[in-house]
């Protein structure tokens, strides 16, 4: 989970920190050797021998013509006179004529055209530059030379660039509707591909669509005028706000009558996003014993209203009859303005009535100023018999467990906090959006090896559990195969009628898509494992350049080896090895919803049904009890049984059932959104997300410049930006937490140190200077403004990583990438061994790296990570504003050529890899400026992917030593996710789309580019993310095998390499490429023709062997279907983590996506996307 490695010292150090120091010496030596052997410019090219008897064809090049616009291309056809069995090479160069390289076109020098045997035609493309100074046609020459295995026939061709007027484009716009009297506007950018040489005038007029003029927007018309030298203007349309709940509506702006320009895109769509919502009325079921005298139905609103809300209710007989069992009732429940809850009480009769459990319904109708929530048209009232059934009292069996019922759940006596998550660990809180607040007791929390309990204070701020929470319970002797538990390979089995493991949405009555697995990471802590932390601490510290870390680590490993040889392997018996049953969502749980977990008909290895725990039997079988701790929970359990019964799950079949509530969207995001809005208001922008970069630019200082960095990076610019600080320690150093003003539940600016600084790095390609590669950018005369993006680095990396793949991306596609550190999860640009101590801006040596060590030793410290990452998202937001604001980076000489800025400030994009693809989605979701982003090798959530990653080994050594019990370990990973949600994709994914973005935030679209079989970021976690954000998938996504599979995401037919892998490695092969029965299930196929939504594109380097059975050095096996990583030492092949971004087709796909009005374009030829020369269509 780190950035792309290149031939620099820094990348060697990053590799060291992420995969273990032991590999550094060999890996670093191999990397340096590879760097030393890289061909240098001007090196000798060996002429390939001519195939004996092969014909010698003649090479010719034809003239070409193109308009002098950035969109057109000079396409020179280079052809052979006849086919040959030899490989033909011919060198070509562009030669200036009246058209000049860097001003009128992008020059090319020393390039080679290669004809493989049998090929006779190639095309050389030359990209024109939209030159505002051009006044007529211009010409240049393409010159062929130095043919190999051929002779020259026509060696020169003329390229004619025809004069073209500036092209005008109008971009789509969106705006939040707002309330009555609001002042929101739709801002349509009208841009020229080159500056106007004379005044340009273009007429515009608005038009109605689903949005009506006079009702939804103010009709307008007029002219857009460009003065000489201008390239951008704006058409603003006033939005008319209201408070009615409506669908999003669209209108149009049409350009016409252009004078001095042509219209490339003349019609734009304006989307008015409705920000109103109907208040939803929910109702809970009610349960009581006949002797209780009444049933209480609770009605709730999802949010308070400024108007009175009412709803009619009436009872309806079921097995319980009005008069005999209860008193019929009807009426109107009214919520006064500002209130959230009402109750309806239905009395039971005093007579015995019918025996057994009876039920009736309370029906809701005719809501006023609100709507009924899904499933809220009725509630079930359950009347229990006068006395519980005459089953034996079994209180003595559960008494020891019940004694801690105030802080533990006695259902699962193997572990205090199981089953987990669980509303038993919440309390009522009317100020919370869910009406609940987490209420964990420190006495119940796991203790580390030093005996210190995890402090749950920060977790108790949440109003529910994670939308990606791992569900945990311990079931002795469970056999998931005999049980028929839903597996990862067939998530569709979640909906099988008889599925034994069910997660039910209590609000809708629908089953949720899940998979289940037994923990495959059992750890048995022994007496010699006390030395293990040495490996972990030194491995992590080595990432920051600790001297002699490798040598000290070797000593620790030698001591451990000697210990095992001298002492018996004595297991410490207090640590139960589990395993826990883990139930994971295959699509995230819905924010604010309540879920019921039902386990039924569970089997052991012999196929025998496993008996339910006695504590649960009391409720299921309605045993009597004298224990108040049990009886106080009985009514709630009856309501769960009623819900499950309505879903066809009978209580008699249950092993266990419980419920939990997912945190609200407000609880998950309100901290960082408060910080975002406050920080932008400090710049003078109080309406973020409206498409206008308002107010001041951030303060920029300490600019330094380095030119001719590489063959793709013309200039690196470093500097410092000042940003509001929401952290407790000065300058927000490692170990900081969010600062909460007294009495506030939301963070505020630190009053003692209200600002902090962060450093940034921008990389500018030669294209932005209008230059050939390796030409000094200080000699540039004309800027070619480049698209701008912020870039997110990998695991515990820094802004400086990934120069190789970043350089390729920005030079090929003319981008400027700027980056800063993900503080909280960064190592910064620090190396003690090189004498570099980067303490200027925020962190002491090692910074987050050492803080991670403190977290792994005591998870109470985890808020320091999540809180700092939230501050880093504000830092990235300020960096983006520095790129977009005319008084930001464009005011610095480092970003100018003859006074013209090299940045195209019309729209900001995001690109990130690994950790940058995991935190990056959260940044895109909350960004007021980024509408489109690429998330490379991404995933969510951390609690799922960590144990499936080879990178986790080093950190697990310390975590598992601190918390040796495997049940503790699974709980800790699931528990941490509740705060990690604030700092990664998982907590924001349900708003990473075009339909439900956050307030003051534009619609979003993202391109996910995972690597098939990734060793570091599990491809499974990318699939979960894709389902959650509503993405489509590139189809076909994978090749097929002999084992049949369902769905359009699999290419039909058995790929010969998959078949060969099955023969060579039957221990790993599934007989198919993807392990699932229906790969990428519940993901529709993308169209491939500019699809404007979010898309998942999987990049595959092929199986472990080729079709002929020979080894594929870049081959990757399908990953394990357990919660373990695909380890190379176990034969899972090469780690493809870096492969997608190093593939030119992937970068072209990213470039098409990261455009104004861009979208997904298929660069894989209708086949599965392949990398490293894998051929998906042999």
| Strands of 534-653, DSSP E | 581-585, 594-600
Residue 44 pLDDT: 33
- Judge contact between 986 and 869, C-beta under 8 A: no
1002 and 1038 co-located in one domain: yes
Q: Is the peptide bond before 1036 cis (omega within 30 degrees of 0)?
A: yes
Residue 452 CA, chain-centre distance (Å), reads 33
Does a structural domain hold residue 1040? yes
Q: How confident is the model at residue 47 (pLDDT cuts 50, 70, 90)?
A: very low
870 and 1007 co-located in one domain: no
pLDDT at 209 over 80: yes
618 and 470 co-located in one domain: yes
Does a structural domain hold residue 478? yes
Residue 5 pLDDT: 34
71 and 182 co-located in one domain: no
489 and 621 co-located in one domain: yes
641 and 689 co-located in one domain: no
Span 1113-1126, pLDDT tens digits? 999 999 999 999 99
Residue 541: name the closest of 550, 530, 554 by CA.
550
CATH number, domain at 369?
A: 2.60.40.2030
Residue 769 and residue 900: Cα distance in Å, rounded?
Answer: 10
The percent of residues in the chain predicted with pLDDT above 70, rounded, is: 88
pLDDT at 145 over 70: yes
pLDDT at 659 over 60: yes
Does a structural domain hold residue 13? no
1108 and 1135 co-located in one domain: yes
Of 439-443, 626-630, 648-652, the range with the lowest mean pLDDT is 648-652
Q: How confident is the model at residue 12 (pLDDT cuts 50, 70, 90)?
A: very low
pLDDT at 1076 over 90: yes
Of 146-155, 351-360, 544-553, 967-976, the range with the lowest mean pLDDT is 544-553
Residue 357 pLDDT: 80
Span 922-935, pLDDT tens digits? 999 999 999 999 99
Neighbours of 930 (CB within 10 A): 24
Residue 121: name the closest of 80, 92, 66 by CA.
80
What is the phi/psi pair of residue 376, to 5°?
Answer: -105, 20
Residue 1118 and residue 1072: Cα distance in Å, rounded?
Answer: 9
Question: Stretch 231-258: mean pLDDT, rounded?
Answer: 91
Give 669's contacts (C-beta < 8 A, 6+ positions apart).
Answer: 926, 982, 987, 988, 991, 998
Can you read off the two tokens belonging to residue 322?
């009005």
Residue 836: name the closest of 276, 120, 13 by CA.
13
Q: How confident is the model at residue 838 (pLDDT cuts 50, 70, 90)?
A: very low
Does a structural domain hold residue 690? yes
pLDDT at 300 over 90: yes
Span 678-696, pLDDT tens digits? 999 999 999 998 889 999 9
Question: Stretch 319-343: mean pLDDT, rounded?
Answer: 92
Q: How confident is the model at residue 447 (pLDDT cuts 50, 70, 90)?
A: very high
Residue 535 pLDDT: 56
What is the phi/psi pair of residue 598, to 5°?
Answer: -125, 125
Pick the last residue of a domain from 162, 184, 200.
162
Can you read off the two tokens belonging to residue 78?
């280079």
Residue 193 pLDDT: 86
677 and 773 co-located in one domain: yes
pLDDT at 21 over 60: no
Number of domains in the chain: 6
Span 603-625, pLDDT tens digits? 999 999 999 999 999 999 989 99
Strand pairing class (1005-1009; 930-936): parallel
Domain holding 708, by residue range, is 665-908
Pick the last residue of a domain from 908, 928, 955.
908
Give 251's contacts (C-beta < 8 A, 6+ positions apart).
Answer: 186, 206, 207, 208, 209, 210, 211, 213, 216, 217, 237, 269, 270, 272
Residue 691 and residue 694: Cα distance in Å, rounded?
Answer: 9
Residue 246 pLDDT: 82
Neighbours of 12 (CB within 10 A): 18
Neighbours of 757 (CB within 10 A): 18
Q: Which residue has the higher pLDDT, 30 or 288?
A: 288
Can you read off the two tokens belonging to residue 1080?
């990428």
What is the phi/psi pair of residue 316, to 5°?
Answer: -140, 130
Can you read off the two tokens belonging to residue 771?
């230059």
Span 1026-1043, pLDDT tens digits? 999 999 999 999 999 999
Residue 612 and residue 607: Cα distance in Å, rounded?
Answer: 15
1002 and 1147 co-located in one domain: yes
The percent of residues in the chain predicted with pLDDT above 90, rounded, is: 72
pLDDT at 59 over 60: yes
Does a structural domain hold residue 53? no
Does a structural domain hold residue 350? yes
642 and 676 co-located in one domain: no
Does a structural domain hold residue 626? yes
Nearest-10 Cα torsion for 12, 793, 1124, 1021: -160
670 and 657 co-located in one domain: no
Residue 599 and residue 587: Cα distance in Å, rounded?
Answer: 20
Span 758-768, pLDDT tens digits? 999 999 999 99
Does a structural domain hold residue 1007? yes
469 and 376 co-located in one domain: no
Can you read off the two tokens belonging to residue 972?
């800790």
pLDDT at 1170 over 60: yes
Residue 819 and residue 798: Cα distance in Å, rounded?
Answer: 9
Pick the last residue of a domain from 324, 350, 384.
384
Residue 1086 and residue 453: Cα distance in Å, rounded?
Answer: 49
Q: Which residue has the higher pLDDT, 691 or 526?
A: 691
Residue 1057 and residue 1100: Cα distance in Å, rounded?
Answer: 13
């Amino acid at each position: 989970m780190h950035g792309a490695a290149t031939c620099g010292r820094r990348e060697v150090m990053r590799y060291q920190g992420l995969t273990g120091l032991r590999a550094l010496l060999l890996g670093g030596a191999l990397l340096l050797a590879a760097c030393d052997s890289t061909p240098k410019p001007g090196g000798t090219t060996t002429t390939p021998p001519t195939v004996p008897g092969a014909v010698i064809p003649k090479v010719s090049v034809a003239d070409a013509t193109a308009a002098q616009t950035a969109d057109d291309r000079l396409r020179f056809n280079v052809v052979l006179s006849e086919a040959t069995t030899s490989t033909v090479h011919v060198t070509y160069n562009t030669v200036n004529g009246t058209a000049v390289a860097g001003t009128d076109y992008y020059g090319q020098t020393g390039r080679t055209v290669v004809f493989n045997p049998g090929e006779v035609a190639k095309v050389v493309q030359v990209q024109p530059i939209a030159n505002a100074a051009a006044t007529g046609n211009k010409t240049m020459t393409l010159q062929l030379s130095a043919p190999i295995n051929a002779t020259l026939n026509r060696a020169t061709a003329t390229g004619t660039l025809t004069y073209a007027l500036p092209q005008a484009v109008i971009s789509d716009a969106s705006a939040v509707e707002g309330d009555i009297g609001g002042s929101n506007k739709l801002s349509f950018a009208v841009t020229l591909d080159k500056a106007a040489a004379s005044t340009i005038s273009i007429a515009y007029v608005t038009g109605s669509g689903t949005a009506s003029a006079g009702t939804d927007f103010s009709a307008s018309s007029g002219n857009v005028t460009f003065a000489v030298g201008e390239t951008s203007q704006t058409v603003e349309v006033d939005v008319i706000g209201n408070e009615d709940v409506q669908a999003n509506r669209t209108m149009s702006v049409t350009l016409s009558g252009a004078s001095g320009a042509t219209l490339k895109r003349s019609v734009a769509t304006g989307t008015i996003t409705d920000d109103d919502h109907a208040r939803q009325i929910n109702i809970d079921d009610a349960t009581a014993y006949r002797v209780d005298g009444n049933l209480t139905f609770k009605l709730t609103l999802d949010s308070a209203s400024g108007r009175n809300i009412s709803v009619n209710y009436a009872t309806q007989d079921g097995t319980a009859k009005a008069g005999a069992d209860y008193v019929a009732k009807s009426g109107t429940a009214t919520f006064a303005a500002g209130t959230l809850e009402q109750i309806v009480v239905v009395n039971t009769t005093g007579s015995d009535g019918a025996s057994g459990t009876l039920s009736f319904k309370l029906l809701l109708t005719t809501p006023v100023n609100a709507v009924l929530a899904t499933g809220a048209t009725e509630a079930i009232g359950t009347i229990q018999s006068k006395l519980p059934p005459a089953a034996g009292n079994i209180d003595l069996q559960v008494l020891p467990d019940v004694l801690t019922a105030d802080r533990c759940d006695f259902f699962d006596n193997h572990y205090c906090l199981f089953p987990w998550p669980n509303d038993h660990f919440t309390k009522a809180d009317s100020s919370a959006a869910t009406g609940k607040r987490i209420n964990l007791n420190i006495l119940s929390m796991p203790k580390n090896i030093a005996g210190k309990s995890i402090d749950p204070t920060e977790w108790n701020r949440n109003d529910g559990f994670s939308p990606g929470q791992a569900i945990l319970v311990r079931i002795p002797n469970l056999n998931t195969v005999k049980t028929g538990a839903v597996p990862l390979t067939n998530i569709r089995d979640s909906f099988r009628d008889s599925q034994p493991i069910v997660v039910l949405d209590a609000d809708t009555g629908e089953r949720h898509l899940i998979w289940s697995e037994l923990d495959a990471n059992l750890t048995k802590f022994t007496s010699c494992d006390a030395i293990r932390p040495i490996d972990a601490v030194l491995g992590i510290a080595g990432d920051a350049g600790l001297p002699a870390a490798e040598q000290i680590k070797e000593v620790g490993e030698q001591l451990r080896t000697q210990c095992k040889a001298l002492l018996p392997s004595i297991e410490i018996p207090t640590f139960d090895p589990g395993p826990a049953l883990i139930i994971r969502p295959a699509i995230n749980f819905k924010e604010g919803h309540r879920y019921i977990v039902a386990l039924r008909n569970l089997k052991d290895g012999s196929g025998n049904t496993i008996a339910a725990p006695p504590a649960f039997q009391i409720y299921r079988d309605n045993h009597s009890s004298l224990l108040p701790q049990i009886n106080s929970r009985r009514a709630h359990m009856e309501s769960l049984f009623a819900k499950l019964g309505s879903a066809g799950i009978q209580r008699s079949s249950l092993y266990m059932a419980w419920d939990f509530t997912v945190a609200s969207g407000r609880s998950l995001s309100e901290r960082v959104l408060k910080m975002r809005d406050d920080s932008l208001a400090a710049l003078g922008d109080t309406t973020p997300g409206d498409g206008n970069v308002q107010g001041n630019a951030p303060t920029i200082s300490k600019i330094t410049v380095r030119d001719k960095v590489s063959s793709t990076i013309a200039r690196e610019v470093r500097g410092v930006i000042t940003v509001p600080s929401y952290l407790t320690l000065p300058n927000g150093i490692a170990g900081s937490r969010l600062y909460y003003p007294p009495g506030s539940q939301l963070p505020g600016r630190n009053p003692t140190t209200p600002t902090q600084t962060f450093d940034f790095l921008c990389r500018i390609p030669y294209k932005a200077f209008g230059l050939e590669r390796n030409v000094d950018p200080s000699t540039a005369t004309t800027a070619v403004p480049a698209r701008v993006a912020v870039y997110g680095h990998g695991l515990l990396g820094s802004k400086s990583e990934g120069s190789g793949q970043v350089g390729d991306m920005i030079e090929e596609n003319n981008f400027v990438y700027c980056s800063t550190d993900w503080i909280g999860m960064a190592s910064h640009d620090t190396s003690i061994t090189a004498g570099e101590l980067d303490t200027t801006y925020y962190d002491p040596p090692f910074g987050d790296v050492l803080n991670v060590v403190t977290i792994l030793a005591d998870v109470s410290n985890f808020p320091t990570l999540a809180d700092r990452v939230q501050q880093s998202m504000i830092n990235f937001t300020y960096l983006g504003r520095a790129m977009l604001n005319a008084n930001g980076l464009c005011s610095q000489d480092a970003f100018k050529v003859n006074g013209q800025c090299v940045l195209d400030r019309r729209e900001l994009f995001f690109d990130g890899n690994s950790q940058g693809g995991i935190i990056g989605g959260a940044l895109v979701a909350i960004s007021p400026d980024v509408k489109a982003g690429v998330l490379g090798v991404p995933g969510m959530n951390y609690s799922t992917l960590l144990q499936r990653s080879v990178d986790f080994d080093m950190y697990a050594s310390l975590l598992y030593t601190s918390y040796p019990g495997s049940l503790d370990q699974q709980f800790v990973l699931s528990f941490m996710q509740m705060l990690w949600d604030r700092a990664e994709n998982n907590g924001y994914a349900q708003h990473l789309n075009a339909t439900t973005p956050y307030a003051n935030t534009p619609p979003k679209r993202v391109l996910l580019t995972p690597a098939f079989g990734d060793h570091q970021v599990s491809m499974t976690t990318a699939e979960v993310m894709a389902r959650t954000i509503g993405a489509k998938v590139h189809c076909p996504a994978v090749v097929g095998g002999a084992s049949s599979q369902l769905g359009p995401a699999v290419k039909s037919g058995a790929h010969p390499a998959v078949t060969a892998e099955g023969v060579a490695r039957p221990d790993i092969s599934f007989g198919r490429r993807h392990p699932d029965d229906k790969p990428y299930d519940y993901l529709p196929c993308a169209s491939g023709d500019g699809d404007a939504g979010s898309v998942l594109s999987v990049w595959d380097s092929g199986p472990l062997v080729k079709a002929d059975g020979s080894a594929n050095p870049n081959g990757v096996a399908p990953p394990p279907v357990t919660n373990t990583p695909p380890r190379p030492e176990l034969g899972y092949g090469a780690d493809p983590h870096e492969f997608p971004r190093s593939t030119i087709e992937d970068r072209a796909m990213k470039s098409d996506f990261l455009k104004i009005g861009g979208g997904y374009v298929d660069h894989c030829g209708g086949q599965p996307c392949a990398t490293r020369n894998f051929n998906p269509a042999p």
